[in-house]
Structure 1
């Protein structure tokens, strides 16, 4: 009987201990209950704002000064006026758009082709994880690998010479388009998997009944993909392109390790231009002005692409 009483007492004690928690939850005001989820995410939001919003606001503030270490001289919009007439800045912007545009186009084509076969072919589908391997390497390690292949080790030149395509070694840093090609190849090799995994996920999440109806009507798989699947995932493609475009606008590691802007600044991207102005000539206010201009151009371009893609997706 004592054992039974002890068991029953323990069973009654457990609900009794839970009742104070229920009473505490009931005593909370409706406003506190509504604010509770926001309080949970507040630390993460504050942290993200601290590492994104504050540096951006600080760069805008600094762009109105001539900064030489501890000496800050107000210059108003002089940095922006000087930037508008700086041929090196606009050349860096043109290099970024040219190199980034070619790299992004090649990445989209390769990633979409791989996604099409990985989505359809069961054999390739099983090897999807292998396509993601280049993205797992550090960008600096990838840059050094391609520097060894193109410049230091002359692996590419030796391979082309053995195939009989060239007679002597190629100077990848002495030719404008060869130097740009090194940056494009390095970027395409590492970041095509990023677009590939997004495209595969988009193809797998589309409505299968539409494709099945087209297949029953006699449409081939390429026709289904081009006329049905591709328009359906157009908003996803736009978002993926914008994400990669923003990343390309900040291309720095490959330029710093592979070319350093040579020859003649023809491979200098806008990020490397900002680095050179800030940390080589120590003109921090001018570098901040260039960063602000780059940010504004990136935001406007991203808004335009996404808005047009989603508008066309609705129609």
Structure 2
């Protein structure tokens, strides 16, 4: 015999079902919202400070001592006084200025000329990636390549003999200016593309309406480039040349591989001088003092050049 179960009223079902409402999302505090972007970049900032700020502070601290491996003797500003009276230091500083100045001037002129043609010519503009090839090689490989071409392999000398310009093999590393020339050629060949790509980007970023208006007035492209594009590129040129100049002051690989400061220290740059003092003569405090002085001089010169260039551009 079948008995039907008593029916449960709808009100009872509604009362038995728990009230499941979604909890509102938690809102972050205003302080946490402001600090969140800084928390994201904090690891990268800490890492950069660890590999840049700490070595600089340690070098300044070490420059106040006479350091011979584990023996540290307080000398205060004695290292700085000795460096300012060191003829080798001033000679290395002069070599850096001469080699770097000539190299930077050639790089700037060549890069501007290449940018002039690459910006206008569609064919050259389509293959401008080829100009970046030297910059992709390792600096040590480039130094070995040019040392082989100039001295060890006699490639340049054989070419000059074949052209009838010289009668015998040229000792490139035995003459002061020829040795400097080898360093300049290697540096210009590798790092001119750095300035070239910046100058091309600056030309492409200019307002095309100004160039078109000058064309309508009958101006030729060389006149437009010299009187319109070049003045507009001045801030970019100043910044690019300043960055490249700072990098030239640290020229070490070419000197170490090609000349090692010869002949008679005529190609010894500041970086090689610091290396020689620290890792060949083991005078680490003296080398640290030289690096600190070089850093101060580089900052002062770069700041002065950039400040004057931008200030004169506002007038």
TM-score using structure 1 length: 0.92
Give distance in 1, aligned partners of 2:222 and 2:311. Answer: 25
- Determine which structure has more spread, i.e. the larger CA radius of gyration: 2
Of residues 15, 22, 25, the one that matches 1:23 is 25
Q: How does 1:204-243 map to 2 (within 5 A)?
A: 204-243=204-243
1:251–1:271 CA contact under 8 A, matched in 2: yes
Give distance in 1, aligned partners of 2:238 and 2:54. Answer: 28
Q: Does 1:304 align with 2:310?
A: no
Q: What residue in structure 2 maps to residue 292 of structure 1? A: 292
Aligned-CA RMSD value = 1.2
Q: What residue in structure 2 maps to residue 86 of structure 1? A: 86
3-state SS of the aligned residue for 1:267?
A: coil
Q: What residue in structure 2 maps to residue 152 of structure 1? A: 152
Q: Which stretch shows the higher mean deviation, 66-75 or 299-308?
A: 299-308
3-state SS of the aligned residue for 1:250?
A: coil
Q: How does 1:1-80 map to 2 (within 5 A)?
A: 23-24=25-26, 26=27, 28-80=28-80
Give distance in 2, aligned partners of 1:205 and 1:219. Answer: 20
Give distance in 1, aligned partners of 2:312 and 2:32. Answer: 42
Q: How does 1:54-203 map to 2 (within 5 A)?
A: 54-203=54-203
1:100–1:248 CA contact under 8 A, matched in 2: yes
Moved runs in structure 1, 4+ residues, more than 6 A? none
In structure 2, runs of 5+ residues without a counterpart are 1-19
3-state SS of the aligned residue for 1:219?
A: coil
Q: What residue in structure 1 maps to residue 272 of structure 2? A: 272
Give distance in 2, aligned partners of 1:253 and 1:199. Answer: 26
1:95–1:268 CA contact under 8 A, matched in 2: yes
- Encode CA deviations 1:60-107: one digit per residue, 9 max, x unaligned: 010000000000000010100000110000000000010000000000
1:231–1:313 CA contact under 8 A, matched in 2: no
1:143–1:253 CA contact under 8 A, matched in 2: yes
3-state SS of the aligned residue for 1:23?
A: coil
1:195–1:240 CA contact under 8 A, matched in 2: yes
Q: Does 1:259 align with 2:253?
A: no
1:232–1:313 CA contact under 8 A, matched in 2: no
1:62–1:285 CA contact under 8 A, matched in 2: yes
Q: What residue in structure 2 maps to residue 12 of structure 1? A: none
3-state SS of the aligned residue for 1:173?
A: helix
In structure 1, runs of 5+ residues without a counterpart are 1-15
Q: Post-superposition shift, 1:217?
A: 1.0
Give distance in 1, aligned partners of 2:127 and 2:314. Answer: 34
Give distance in 1, aligned partners of 2:38 and 2:44. Answer: 10
Give distance in 2, aligned partners of 1:219 and 1:314. Answer: 26
Q: Post-superposition shift, 1:56?
A: 0.6
Q: Post-superposition shift, 1:312?
A: 2.3
1:108–1:192 CA contact under 8 A, matched in 2: yes
Q: Post-superposition shift, 1:177?
A: 0.5
1:238–1:306 CA contact under 8 A, matched in 2: yes
Q: Post-superposition shift, 1:313?
A: 2.3
3-state SS of the aligned residue for 1:151?
A: helix
Give distance in 2, aligned partners of 1:307 and 1:209. Answer: 30
